[in-house]
A and B are shown apart, each in its own frame.
Chain A
Amino acid sequence: MNAALRHVFLASLWRRPLATSLSLLAIALGVALGLTVQLIHSAALDEFGRGIRLLSGTADLQIVGSQAGLDDALYPLLARHPDIATASPVLEIEARLPGRDETLRIFGIDLFRVAQVTPSLLPMTDVQDGTPTERIDRLGPLQPDALFLSPAAAARLALAAGDRLTVQIGVREQALRIGGSVPGAGVGQILAVMDIGAAQQVFDRIGRLTRIDLRLAPGIERGEAQRRLADLLPPGVAILTPDDAESEVTGLSRAYRVNLTMLAAIALLTGGFLVFSAQLLAVVRRRQEFALLRALGLDRASLRRGLLAEGAVLGLIGGLIGVTLAYLLTALAFRLIGGDLGAGFFRGIAPTLRFEPLLTLVYLTLGVLAGLGGAWLPAREAARMIPARGLRAGDEAEVYRAQPRWGAALLCLILAALLCLPPPLAGVSVGGYLAVLLVLIGAILILPGATLWAMRRLGAPRALTLRLARARLAAAPGQAVVAGAGVVASVALAVSMAIMVDSFRSSVDGWLTRMLPADLYLRASAATASGYLDPETVARIAALPGVIDVYPVRFASLRLDPMRESIALIARPVRTGNGLPLVAGSLQPTGSDDAHPAWISEALADRLRLGVGDPLALPLADRLQPFRVAGIWRDYARQQGAVVIELDDYRALTNDWLTNDLGLFLADGTAPETLMTAIRATLGEQTSEMILPGELRAMILAVFDRTFLVTYLMEAVAVLIGLFGIGTTFAALAASRRKEFGILRHLGLRRRQIGTLLSVEAALTAAVGMGVGLLAGGAIALVLIEVVNRQSFRWSMDLQLPVVALLVFGLSLILLAALAARLAGAQAMRQDAVLAVREDW
């Protein structure tokens, strides 16, 4: 492009700074949000994957059990197997640290074995410089109280060699000595290492391992060894490749990640719409200019290229701003909420921000594509113009003469409905997301038709400005498309999110009520950590004055399918408790056989394709035990699936009498606070956690809201973009309609009335956009609830319409649109009417 053309095209961006900066903002925000989500997750996943690789070292295969672990008699058996060169036993403990609000992952390892498989976990005794070599306790790593911290753990806990760290086992505290470091663990892994014999003793896990890492003998093929060794394993114990182990966890976070990315994509799409509206208006306004250029010899292709370049430059600059913003946001997120966007998938890692060239380039390209995509239709429109006609005044109306596209819109909606049918691809609800996109496109295609239909339904109003506005919109429905496309997109997005989140939240609330029947809850630690309540402790608590009943819950995990992640097992009183949030089946099983009743979560029912009455074998205490599905319940906590069984059945089958969570029912008139004090006096100040169900509910809902923080942010951005869209559009419209306004002024309209006219037009446009957006939003919400959530997270929810919130939102958007249009058109109204009319003569 030569200098003159550069002047004509790119410089025009300068001449409309408002439209340009809003388009830039939209693209920048889309790029920034999308890239931030990706940056955070790629850093977290990288660090997480690094951790998994670090922890599996050079292992070819890993024997993994459930949370309760596996019998360590399996270890010598495997270590002597001819297929195996080295077996390295591991007992992983999540140690509760009394007085600190975090846990510490401790790996019990065999010093002599770990070096050959996972050398990065080798503990090193820290020695002060100058200590004579014979003074060093070479047995340090074997000492029963010696704990070795990774650099990240030492930094996090602010501990050095020689310091003491108190860990909790059950409700008992025990001090360990920091013996040194785990230098191979690198900077991002928060973990500790101790001798496996000591770990079994200290944490009361004699005879248990959580993992055995295997290196195969030379010449042994992995797949065959995996099959042969699998035959030696008891039920509930799996043999996996390290890749399986990694994908187990990354798979859990995938749905969440994809959902956030899709939200960012929708923001980017909205940005594209905004570029489209701005460019289309610019093209309309510069119609005569282009006609002149064409008449002077500029060919079609050059004109189109010039306009596309405008879009591309907008996209590029917006993209660059967005990329910068993304890195800033990511750095901020790492400092404030850690590496998991508040969802809790990646604990125990400290990811660091890194430059990701490929991701950055992809998002920059997406920004440019949004700009190009937005400029595409306007450029084609401009290039198609016949110069002789374009030079005539009033020709721009051509552009607004959009045809209703009922057929195409219907096709989109039918396609969307069909896309909701297929199952998810690799755990991602691809069909659902495509359906959302198609509903959006369908809604925009409907817009001209809907405008015409709505204006006809409006009849012939008496007020002059209203009549003028109606006539204008009915004659040029394209104007509504241009101004309203952004509104439809953002309203649809915001409304669908509002409905989905509201339904989700109220369903979660109802679920919590069902799951938390007691007056007060007590636990020694999170179920995965090293605290628990033994029967004597439970008895002591139950005997406290004011306690009329206790409700013990035991959490465990089970491996049903050797190739898949383990599921949660919840053993608690079912028939005598507050029941379960059932969606099928009943609490009172009718089966007459020996099988014990089990209630499975929706996710598990989906995963195992089980229905009420189907048999189910659960590996408990190294044996498969017969159960029968008595009901299916709704669970928002355990995406991998959960099964509830009667506590009495669990205890009889496993002889495990420990309790994780203890619900307390209080006598009337007993203040929970009094009892909490009594419990602390019984168990010690720092070895227990207590919470009132109300507080717990508030806490869980707060976590819920934090999880949707990103969603709320995107909603706000989308709405803002929609409003900006109206503002820009009407500013441009006002400029291009100066002649029309001049004539109206000549005919006697006051300046104020023209302002009102613009406001009414904007309000009508916004109202139509709002109506279409509401419908589209409702449809999208349905897709999100019934398809995307079910497929991604495998849970259902009850549809809930936040009617009042939606009404307030709709009305304020219409008002804001009117205001925006009026402010934007102010310039046009200030102009001298005579001059405006004369301009063309």
Chain B
Amino acid sequence: MIRPTRHVLNRWAGLALALLLIVSAQAADFAPVLEGRQPVFPEDTGAHPDYRTEWWYITGWLTDDAGIERGFQVTFFRVGTGIGADNPSRFAPRQLILAHAAIADPVTGHLIHAERAERALEPLSGAATGHTHAWIGDWDLMLEDETYRTRIDADDFALDLTLTPAGPPVLNGRNGFSQKTPAPANASHYYSRPQLAVQGRLRLADAERTVNGRAWLDHEWSSEILPETAQGWDWIGINLHDGGSLMAFQMRQRDGSPLWAGGTFRQANGRIRILTPAQVRFNPLRRWQSPRTGADYPVEWEIEIDGRRFALRPLMDDQELDGRRSTGAVYWEGASRLIEDEIEIGRGYLEMTGYWQRQTGL
């Protein structure tokens, strides 16, 4: 879905921004997102290089041997640049691959993160078609035998996780066609893999731990950018304890009012309900102001889904990603709990953009 557009992808190049901010490139260079395209699996778990932007976005909760809970996020982006189609050079920058990973550790009190960016250049980095396989050097994400594996080795932390889906992909929107604004052109192809059973290892501060937990994978691709009227968005992806899952988002206008909303509610019995804009409401509750950027985030929400009221509370308040010194992008991306009647019914991630400056692009 709507995804980090201003992600800090490469400290130096700032291309994440490029990715999503690029206004100049011709949309005509890329395949349009059209309703009615029937997703095919596993082929559609692979890359779609004809579209401008694509990501595999994993968020989840990990518990280590000592019982400490942490949030984690691993993302691989693919960006079509529209550059170099006629260039026979192996360095022609037709596709860029970007990766981002972060750990939300309550002990640290803020996010620990790392990123990489490269042009796609086999065998050093790329995003394969046909099945999920994206990599930059030794950072990778791949789908093999119905199990995802991702490896991230950064200076401050390392992850080596296997993620096993509980069921088939969940198509968001109308059969995988996810509309973002009242205009149907602003849309993406979008499916989710909720309830991923996670096992693996986490290295933090040089201590290696065995971890397990639950995670969520979004795979989304599109070619359009967001319209001028959009200020940013709020998104949640929650694994419910009863085996169901909930994805919901709202697009905000400049004045904070909703421009569009949507979601997918999969019940434990496998029944899926696609939520219309009228069925999704995000009501801000408690706010937290970042001491670094001054941005004011509603870190606690009341979320209404088709009449049911949930509370959303963060694992910790400071899950802001401050990229001003690299790409200039600032947003909040953090582990959160979903609560109904004061009982935790699920865990997942909340993403909030456009609270510091206007967020554009998908």
Q: Which residues of A contact B (CB under 8 A)?
A: 72, 76, 79-80, 89, 110-113, 115, 119, 122, 133-139, 141-144, 195-198, 200-201, 206-207
Contact = CB atoms under 8 A, between A and B. Distances in A.
Contacts of B88: 201, 206
A596 to B, nearest CB: 32
A148 B301 CA distance: 47
Contacts of A119: 12
B124 A80 contact: yes
B93 A142 contact: yes
A200 B83 contact: no
Contacts of A133: 17, 21, 328, 357
A144 B91 contact: no
Contacts of B84: 142, 144, 197-198, 201
Given A72-B90, A76-B124, A197-B93, A142 B23 contact: no
B91 A138 contact: no
Interface in B1-40: 10-15, 17-19, 21-25
B15 A79 contact: no
A200 B89 contact: yes
Interface stretch (B101-109, B114-122, B243-251, B343-351): B114-122
B23 A135 contact: yes
Contact of B12 (A122, A134, A195): A122
Contacts of A197: 84, 87, 89-93, 119
A243 B109 CA distance: 45
Given A112-B13, A138-B18, A138-B22, A144 B87 contact: yes
B91 A115 contact: no
Contacts of B14: 138
7 contacts: A110-B91, A112-B10, A112-B117, A119-B12, A122-B12, A138-B15, A138-B18
B89 A134 contact: no
B87 A115 contact: no
Contact of A112 (B17, B19, B89, B119): B119
Nearest to B83: A142
Contacts of A110: 91, 119
Nearest to B93: A142
B162 interface: no
B360 interface: yes
Contacts of A76: 121-124
B81 interface: yes
A198 B92 CA distance: 7
B81 A142 contact: yes
B123 A80 contact: yes
User: Interface centre among B11, B93, B117, B360, by most A CB within 10 Å?
Assistant: B93
Contacts of A200: 87, 89, 91
B185 to A, nearest CB: 18
Q: Which 7 A-B pairs have the closest CB atoms?
A: A138-B18, A197-B91, A115-B12, A200-B89, A197-B92, A197-B89, A142-B93
Contact of B15 (A139, A144, A201): A139
Q: Could you tell me the dominant secondary structure of chain A's interface residues?
A: helix
Interface of B: 10-15, 17-19, 21-25, 81, 83-84, 87-93, 117-119, 121-124, 137, 328, 357-358, 360-361
Contacts of A113: 118
Contact of B23 (A89, A112, A122, A134): A134
A40 B308 CA distance: 81
B83 A138 contact: no
Contacts, number: 94
Nearest to A146: B83
Contacts of A122: 12
B90 A139 contact: no
Contacts of A207: 89-90
Contacts of A89: 91
A80 B15 CA distance: 23
B22 A143 contact: no
A137 B22 contact: yes
A727 to B, nearest CB: 69
A143 B89 CA distance: 14
Contacts of A72: 90-91
Contacts of A135: 23
Given A80-B123, A135-B23, A196 B10 contact: no
Contacts of A201: 84, 87-89, 92
A113 B358 CA distance: 30
Contacts of A144: 83-84, 87
B4 to A, nearest CB: 15
A200 B86 CA distance: 12
Given A133-B17, A138-B17, 14 more contacts: A89-B91, A110-B119, A112-B15, A115-B11, A137-B23, A137-B24, A138-B15, A139-B18, A139-B22, A141-B13, A197-B89, A198-B84, A201-B87, A207-B90
A139 B83 contact: yes
Contacts of B137: 79
User: Interface centre among A139, A143, A197, by most B CB within 10 Å?
Assistant: A139
B124 A143 contact: no
Contacts of B358: 134
B298 to A, nearest CB: 24
A138 B21 contact: yes
A111 B83 CA distance: 14
A110 B121 CA distance: 11
B21 A134 contact: yes
A206 B87 CA distance: 9
Contacts of B357: 133
Nearest to A89: B91
Nearest to A200: B89
Contacts of B22: 137-139
Contacts of B121: 76
B331 to A, nearest CB: 14
A815 to B, nearest CB: 73
Nearest to B98: A112
A207 B89 CA distance: 6
Contacts of B24: 137
A200 B357 CA distance: 39
Contacts of A198: 84, 87
A127 to B, nearest CB: 12
A113 B137 CA distance: 12
A735 to B, nearest CB: 77
A139 B87 contact: no
A181 to B, nearest CB: 15
Contacts of B25: 139
Contacts of B17: 133, 138
A76 B91 CA distance: 11
A537 to B, nearest CB: 22
B92 A136 contact: no
A111 B93 CA distance: 10
A337 B121 CA distance: 46
User: Interface centre among A79, A137, A142, A201, by most B CB within 10 Å?
Assistant: A142
A143 B122 CA distance: 21
Contacts of A79: 124, 137
B257 to A, nearest CB: 21
A653 to B, nearest CB: 25
Contacts of A143: 83
A133 B327 CA distance: 10
A143 B15 CA distance: 13
Contacts of B92: 197, 201
B62 to A, nearest CB: 27
A524 to B, nearest CB: 23
A293 to B, nearest CB: 77
Nearest to A136: B21
Contacts of B328: 133
Nearest to B359: A134
B356 to A, nearest CB: 12
Contacts of B93: 139, 142, 195, 197
Contacts of B21: 133-134, 136, 138
Contacts of A112: 10, 12-13, 15, 117-119
B13 A111 contact: yes
Nearest to A141: B13
A110 B84 CA distance: 14
